[in-house]
């Protein structure tokens, strides 16, 4: 472990991230938001300008101190996991510098919820009372966090490209990263290009549906990363049904593997239509929606329209977290459906969270294989995804991921049930945080304000663990990573010679 390499690259990332603080300066100026004025400058604009320069200046000495060299796999993992923590800490500062939130833990929660695209909030309602610059800051965080700050850095910085694959694998969702181009930098560029393209498209469509510019920017910033923040207390219910349909469509897009979008983009839509994960993904979305709508009609326990059912299902399944109805008031069975959807999440290689459809699909196939092997131990079978055979090694990692996910969820559920005193709320809080969804059930149905500060801190860490898909995040707690550092240094030195 060469810390200098980690710190040096962290410096580069900070320099890029610092620019993000400039976006909220625009509404801060426009709306003249300020408790106090500094000369002609409104206070909130000053805060964000200050934050921007501070972050950039923090990056310069870090980069100067560190070494900009190729890194090894372990350094890549530490770089990714630590930079997400550090960036969340830095992004939390504006929340109490502008006196929006008083407790640092709340700020950290809000920033982490933003950057991990969770979308859970501790801001007091109604949201409309808060400064537009702060609200927009949450959206900016989600947009950057969606495709990933590391992917962005790899796309921009030349230095990161040589060890870039390790970085991308550590950050991006899903079991494996598909190289769209032989060069990892090109791959990162394409991902960000497609992501920006979809964001722009959604923005234009929203404008066409007569949404205001600010709201259109906001929701295109928070839909594509499957984030879920909204500047309105009633979330997307604030808008017309046309807008809701548009947002449903783009949430579904955001939950699809971006390499499939790329295939469509280069004129190969068959690859998407034939992809088993994509098919399963749509099957689950529409299957659950149909079941909910039919059951609600047949049993007449609740009056749920197709639009409402589809919106909540897509929002929860893709781990976006917008709401158009209070689904916490739905019958128990439907609430259970939504809770289970939180675990499944989006597709691998999408911006969605959760376990991922691909993993769930492969786990089902593994279980089926085990059953057949149990009946006939001599049977030799492989697990296939479409026509490709999945390596045993990959299957093993996926099974372990699933187990780790469930264990961590259980730990979170125990803590949260203890802290809130309510079973459903605790379970939902743990599931929604780990899956980067946002809304939960019961006490955490719309926000996390009824959760004590310790619970908020733990759930912030759960979002971080969930976003980095457990292994990358948890590795940071592994003491051997630090102990062996001297030995590793020596080894790497030897190899270099």
Partner 1 sequence: MKVIIIGAGEVGRSLAESIRRKGHDVIIVDKSEKACEKARYLDVKVVKGNGARPELLNSLDIKGSDYFFTATDNNEANLVACSMAKSVGCKTMARIKGLEYITKEVSQRFTPIGVDYAVSPELLVARKIADVITVPFAIDRNISMGGKLKVTEFKVLTTSRIKNKKIKDIRFPKNINLGAIVRENQVIVPHGKNVVREDDTLIVMTEGKKAEKKILKLLGTKRSSVERVMVVGATSIGINVAKKLKKRGVDVKIMDESRKRARRAAEILKDVEVMRGDARDKNLLVEEGILRMDALASTAPSEEYNVLVSLLAKVYGVEKTVAVVQELGVKSLIETIGIDLAASPQLQTANTMLRLARELNPLKAVPIHGGDIYLLEMHVDDDSPIVEKTIAQSDLPPECIIGAIIRNGKTIIPRGEEKFKAGDQVLTFVLKEEINAVEDVF
Judged by the rule CB under 8 A, the positions of this chain that interact with partner 1 are 376, 378-382, 384, 387, 389
Which of 215, 249, 248 minimizes the C-alpha distance to 234?
215
Closest to partner 1 by CB, 300 or 376: 376
Closest to partner 1 by CB, 303 or 387: 387
Closest to partner 1 by CB, 213 or 382: 382
The C-alpha angle 220, 226, 229, rounded to 5 degrees, equals: 65
d(CA 322, CA 154): 30
Closest to partner 1 by CB, 140 or 390: 390
CA dihedral of 189, 193, 196, 202, whole degrees rounded to 10: -150
Closest to partner 1 by CB, 297 or 372: 372
Whether 355 contacts 405, CB under 8 Å = yes
By DSSP bridging, strand 37-38 and strand 388-389 are unpaired
Neighbour count for residue 440 (Cβ, 10 Å): 30
Which of 339, 328, 351 minimizes the C-alpha distance to 432?
339
Closest to partner 1 by CB, 386 or 418: 386
Closest to partner 1 by CB, 34 or 366: 366
Structure tokens at 100: 């929006």
Backbone angles phi, psi at 309, to 5 degrees: -60, -50
Closest to partner 1 by CB, 276 or 442: 276
Q: Which residue reads 């181009």 in tokens?
A: 181
Write the CA distances from 247 to 10, 211, 218, 255, 345, integer angstroms: 35, 12, 12, 12, 17
Closest to partner 1 by CB, 159 or 279: 279
Residue-level length of the chain: 497
Burial class (CB in 10 A: 0-12, 13-18, 19+), 116: buried
d(CA 309, CA 132): 31
Q: How far is the CB of 388 from partner 1 (least distance, A)?
A: 10
Q: How far is the CB of 392 from partner 1 (least distance, A)?
A: 9
| 3-state class (DSSP) for residue 345 | coil
Which of 271, 250, 145 minimizes the C-alpha distance to 206?
250
Q: How far is the CB of 280 from partner 1 (least distance, A)?
A: 19
CA 63 to the chain's CA centroid: 27
Q: How far is the CB of 398 from partner 1 (least distance, A)?
A: 18
Q: How far is the CB of 272 from partner 1 (least distance, A)?
A: 22
Closest to partner 1 by CB, 102 or 376: 376
Q: How far is the CB of 83 from partner 1 (least distance, A)?
A: 39
Q: How far is the CB of 374 from partner 1 (least distance, A)?
A: 15
Write the CA distances from 332 to 241, 300, 313, integer angstroms: 26, 14, 15
d(CA 288, CA 338): 9
d(CA 497, CA 488): 14
Q: How far is the CB of 382 from partner 1 (least distance, A)?
A: 5
Q: How far is the CB of 381 from partner 1 (least distance, A)?
A: 6
Closest to partner 1 by CB, 212 or 386: 386
Q: How far is the CB of 178 from partner 1 (least distance, A)?
A: 20
Closest to partner 1 by CB, 377 or 479: 377
Whether 98 contacts 44, CB under 8 Å = yes
| 3-state class (DSSP) for residue 468 | coil
Q: How far is the CB of 269 from partner 1 (least distance, A)?
A: 24
Q: How far is the CB of 175 from partner 1 (least distance, A)?
A: 19
264 membership: H or E segment, kind and range:
helix 258-265
Which of 337, 310, 292, 339 minimizes the C-alpha distance to 439?
339
d(CA 295, CA 289): 10
Structure tokens at 365: 């196939």
């Amino acid at each position: 472990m060469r810390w200098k390499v980690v710190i040096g690259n962290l410096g580069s990332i900070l320099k890029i991230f610092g620019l993000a603080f400039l976006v909220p300066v625009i509404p801060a100026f426009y709306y003249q938001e300020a408790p106090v004025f500094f000369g002609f400058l409104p206070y909130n604009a000053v805060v964000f300008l200050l934050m921007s320069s501070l972050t950039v200046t923090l990056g310069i000495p870090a980069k100067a101190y560190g070494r900009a060299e190729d890194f090894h796999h372990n350094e890549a993992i530490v770089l990714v996991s630590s930079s997400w923590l550090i960036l969340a800490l830095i992004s939390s500062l504006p929340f109490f510098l502008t006196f929006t939130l008083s407790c640092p833990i709340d700020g950290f929660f809000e920033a982490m919820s933003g950057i991990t695209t969770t979308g859970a909030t501790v801001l007091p309602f109604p949201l409309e009372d808060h400064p537009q610059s702060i609200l927009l800051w949450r959206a900016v965080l989600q947009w950057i966090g969606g495709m990933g700050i590391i992917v962005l850095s790899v796309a921009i910085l030349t230095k990161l490209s040589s060890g870039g694959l390790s970085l991308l694998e550590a950050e991006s969702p899903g079991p494996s990263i598909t190289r769209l181009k032989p060069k990892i930098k090109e791959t990162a560029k394409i991902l960000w290009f497609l992501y920006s393209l979809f964001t722009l498209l959604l923005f234009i469509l929203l404008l066409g549906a007569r949404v205001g510019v600010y709201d259109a920017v906001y929701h295109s910033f928070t839909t594509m990363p499957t984030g879920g923040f909204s500047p309105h207390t009633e979330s997307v219910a604030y808008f017309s049904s046309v807008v809701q349909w548009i947002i449903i469509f783009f949430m579904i897009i955001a939950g699809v593997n971006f390499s499939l979008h790329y295939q469509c983009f280069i004129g190969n839509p068959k690859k998407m239509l034939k992809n088993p994960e994509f098919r399963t993904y749509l099957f689950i979305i529409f299957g659950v929606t149909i079941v909910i709508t039919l059951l609600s009609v047949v049993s007449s326990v609740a009056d749920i329209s197709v639009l409402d059912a589809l919106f909540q299902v897509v929002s929860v399944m893709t781990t976006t977290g917008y709401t158009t109805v209070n689904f916490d008031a739905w019958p128990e069975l439907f609430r259970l459906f939504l809770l289970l959807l939180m675990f499944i999440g989006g597709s691998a290689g999408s911006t969605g969270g959760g376990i991922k459809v691909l993993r769930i699909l492969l786990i089902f196939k593994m279980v089926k294989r085990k059953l057949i092997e149990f009946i006939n131990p001599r049977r030799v079978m492989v697990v296939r995804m479409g026509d490709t055979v999945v390596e045993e090694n990959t299957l093993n990692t996926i099974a372990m991921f699933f187990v780790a996910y469930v264990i961590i969820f259980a730990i979170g559920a125990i803590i949260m049930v203890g802290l809130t005193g309510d079973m459903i709320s605790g379970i939902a809080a743990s599931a929604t945080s780990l899956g980067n969804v946002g809304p939960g059930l019961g006490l955490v149905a719309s926000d996390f304000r009824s959760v004590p500060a310790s619970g908020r801190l733990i759930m912030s860490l759960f979002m971080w663990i969930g976003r980095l898909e457990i292994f990358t995040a948890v590795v940071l707690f592994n003491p051997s990573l630090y102990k062996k550092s001297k030995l590793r240094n020596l080894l790497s030195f030897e190899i270099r010679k």
